[in-house]
């Protein structure tokens, strides 16, 4: 990290994990790759040695002052309470309201509460409290250059956290909020750099899940919430998944049952003239085109091997990967099942525990040790909702070699394939 000429301490000094600082990596031409916990990377121009010295001094000072920000050690071994709330608010009684009020209070006091949204479970903390954001990074083991999404519970609240709200934001909100869509806009002063990973832009989302909306309201109106998984693991679609990754690290889990969509929100960058999709999701390019006439899509989504860094920092990290090796097989249905059966037989002979991610239509044709149905090809929404659960189940069953069918890259399929390709580390066999 101290490679000559590569680092500079930003003017905005960011207290961060392990009492270190988020520092800027200036050399735009070299991709710094995943950085250790507590460091951030942002593009810029070439660094000068004076700035390098400054950065070293800041880091040294920060090391002396380890009380600056909570570390995993500070938050580990805490008691994590789990409360159940029915997802349908019409069934709530005073008891549910009181429980959500209490959960909101935990957030107001700087604590962390995991909660359901319509996409995946989020790990919530007060977005305007730098310490709470630091705790989120620590609990997830997430690199601190990977910014958090601020969740709001009414559109007007956007005006306090965004410098200038363009017409495009109003238009997109009218069409898709509350819902599974996040926008990127220039941040207002009020938003701490700890929450934005050092960026001058901020991600904002107004979710539709009743539990999420109420919790955000009771939590003070601005809740930073990444997906509530440990960094690198599939996003949680059930409270059980959150407990697997976060028990002992956070104050509370609000169990609101299974989420509806199962893949994270679509992210749209509204800082340029033409809106640009940075992460595909349930709100598809086609749906956005209808509102704007035309939207762009980050080149790294269509061409993952373009060699360019993605615009959403989180998209550059390996994600969702099961512990076993995952390979996607693309081709005509009969050929795919035959190839997968051949490979799983070979792998089993070599001592592997084999698995298949298949669709209902051909499931019975597979002979692997563990065959998981991700849904029917007739219903892409089912496939989206089941994908992360299935990926986690292979870990539970200690499968070492997994093959998956491939899906169309149109519509919702674009988001499904984006996550599946990441989980497979882009390992694809084309027949």
Q: Which of 121/218 has CB closer to ligand TXA? A: 121
Distance of closest approach, residue 173 Cβ to ligand TXA, in angstroms: 15
Q: Which stretch binds ligand TXA (CB under 6 A): 4-12, 147-155, 321-329, 380-388?
A: 147-155
Distance of closest approach, residue 408 Cβ to ligand TXA, in angstroms: 22
113 binds ligand TXA (CB under 6 A): no
Residues in the chain: 431
DSSP string, 68-126: SS--HHHHTT---EEEE--S-GGG--HHHHHHHHHHHHHHHTT--EEEE-SSSEEEEEE
By CB under 6 A, name the one of 23, 52, 83, 184 that touches ligand TXA: 184
What residue 196 binds from ligand TXA, Mg ion, none (CB within 5 to 8 A, per partner kind)? ligand TXA
Distance, in Å, from the CA atom of 172 to the CA atom of 404, rounded to the nearest integer, reads 35
Looking at residues 203 to 242 of the shown chain, list those that interact with Mg ion (rule: CB under 5 A): 227
Distance of closest approach, residue 228 Cβ to Mg ion, in angstroms: 9
Helix (H/G/I), strand (E/B), else coil: 411: coil
211 binds ligand TXA (CB under 6 A): no
Distance, in Å, from the CA atom of 155 to the CA atom of 151, rounded to the nearest integer, reads 10
> CB–CB of 380/308 below 8 Å?
no
Phi, psi of 361 (to 5 degrees): -60, -30
> CB–CB of 83/100 below 8 Å?
no
Q: Which of 168/265 has CB closer to ligand TXA? A: 265
Surface-to-core class of residue 165, CB atoms within 10 Å of its CB (0-12 exposed, 13-18 middle, 19+ buried): buried
Instruction: For residue 386, give both structure tokens.
Output: 């089941």
What residue 71 binds from Mg ion, ligand TXA, none (CB within 5 to 8 A, per partner kind)? none
Distance, in Å, from the CA atom of 398 to the CA atom of 396, rounded to the nearest integer, reads 5
Distance of closest approach, residue 235 Cβ to ligand TXA, in angstroms: 6
DSSP bridge pairs for 24: 8
266 binds Mg ion (CB under 5 A): no
By CB under 6 A, name the one of 162, 239, 315, 420 that touches ligand TXA: 315
What residue 421 binds from Mg ion, ligand TXA, none (CB within 5 to 8 A, per partner kind)? none
Residue ranges that bind ligand TXA, judged by CB under 6 A: 117, 119-120, 122, 146-149, 182, 184, 196, 199, 201-203, 205, 225-227, 264-265, 267, 278, 311-315
Residue ranges that bind Mg ion, judged by CB under 5 A: 227
């Amino acid at each position: 990290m101290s490679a000559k000429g590569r680092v500079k301490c930003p003017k905005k000094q960011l207290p961060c994990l392990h009492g270190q600082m988020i520092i800027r990596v200036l050399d735009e031409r070299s991709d710094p790759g995943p950085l250790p916990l507590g460091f951030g990377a942002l593009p810029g121009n070439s660094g000068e040695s004076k700035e390098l010295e400054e950065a070293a001094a800041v880091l040294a000072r920060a090391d002396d002052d380890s009380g600056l920000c909570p570390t995993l050690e500070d938050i580990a071994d805490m008691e994590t309470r789990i409360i159940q709330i029915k997802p349908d608010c019409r069934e709530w009684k005073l008891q549910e309201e009181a429980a959500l009020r209490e959960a909101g209070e935990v957030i107001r006091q700087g604590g962390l509460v995991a909660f359901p949204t319509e996409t995946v479970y989020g790990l919530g903390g007060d977005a305007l409290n730098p310490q709470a954001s630091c705790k989120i990074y620590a609990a997830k083991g997430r690199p601190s250059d990977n910014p958090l999404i601020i969740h709001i519970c009414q559109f007007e609240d956007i005006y306090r956290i965004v410098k200038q709200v363009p017409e495009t934001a109003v238009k997109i909100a009218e069409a898709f909020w509350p819902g599974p869509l996040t926008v990127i806009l220039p941040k207002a002063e009020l938003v701490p750099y700890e929450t934005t990973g050092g960026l001058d832009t901020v991600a904002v989302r107004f979710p539709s899940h009743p539990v999420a909306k109420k919790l955000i309201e009771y939590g003070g109106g601005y809740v930073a919430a990444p997906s509530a998984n440990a960094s690198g693991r599939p996003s949680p679609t059930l409270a059980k998944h959150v407990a697997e990754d976060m028990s002992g690290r956070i104050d509370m889990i609000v169990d609101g049952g299974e989420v509806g969509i199962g893949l994270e929100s679509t992210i749209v960058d509204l800082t340029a003239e033409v809106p640009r999709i940075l992460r595909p999701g349930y709100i598809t390019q086609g749906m956005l085109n209808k509102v704007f006439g035309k939207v762009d899509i980050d080149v790294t989504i269509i061409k993952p091997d373009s060699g360019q860094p993605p615009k959403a920092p989180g998209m550059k990290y390996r994600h969702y990967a099961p512990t076993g090796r995952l390979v996607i097989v693309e081709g005509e249905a009969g050929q795919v099942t035959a190839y997968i059966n051949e490979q799983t037989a070979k792998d089993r002979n070599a001592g592997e525990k084999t698995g298949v991610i298949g669709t209902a239509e051909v499931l019975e044709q597979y002979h692997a040790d563990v065959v998981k149905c991700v849904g029917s090809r007739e219903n892409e929404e089912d496939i989206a909702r089941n994908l992360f659960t299935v990926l986690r189940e292979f870990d539970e069953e200690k499968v070492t070699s997994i093959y998956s069918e491939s899906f169309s890259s149109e519509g919702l399929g674009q988001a499904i394939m984006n996550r599946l390709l990441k989980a497979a580390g882009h390992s694809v066999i084309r027949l």
